[in-house]
A and B are shown apart, each in its own frame.
Chain A
């Protein structure tokens, strides 16, 4: 079955430290991969996506994601976390003309 896994319900990082939010997927073919962010009481916002080419994708707010085909992973990263990065992050992957969504990871950045 097609699926997207975000293995951590919550990630805690100190401000200024690097952060990683993990995503792995099980989808046939060569899917497109996305990261979205949801701030409290807001809709989801697009961060970045991988289509093809360079495995390191740069997106909004200083985020980047690394695509690893052999490990079927698409981890979200940022070199230096900000308190304002605290939010809920969703990984999503295309399959059969629709997005399959991960369960979300709550990122908490502590001052």
Chain B
């Protein structure tokens, strides 16, 4: 069983479109995260949720909206996609919110905006 899964694995779309990426974890963790990894492999946290409640909301354009229907799922919806949104997006989870706990990552979603 995959601990943290994401769909789709690849996403190619045109500028201006709206798209969603889904994430699910079966580890029973309370906290989930979205990260963006750019072309230089730099990793940046975007959001974190704890039990469906938003904990971290970094400086991310409001075109990005996370949604957590339950603590096992954290989806990322992106409106009006731009070229600069092209990146790999990783979902992760951990038991605690404090940042001291090991995070488990999904395989990533490679988003390409044309």
Residues of A within 8 A of B (CB): 32, 34, 36, 38, 41-46, 49, 51, 88, 90, 94-99, 101, 103-104
Contact = CB atoms under 8 A, between A and B. Distances in A.
A90 B103 CA distance: 13
Nearest to A88: B41
Bin chain B's interface residue count. Answer: 20 to 34
14 contacts: A32-B99, A41-B108, A42-B108, A44-B43, A44-B92, A44-B105, A46-B104, A90-B43, A94-B99, A94-B100, A98-B48, A98-B99, A99-B45, A99-B103
Nearest to B91: A43
Nearest to B56: A98
B102 A103 contact: no
B73 to A, nearest CB: 17
Nearest to B106: A43
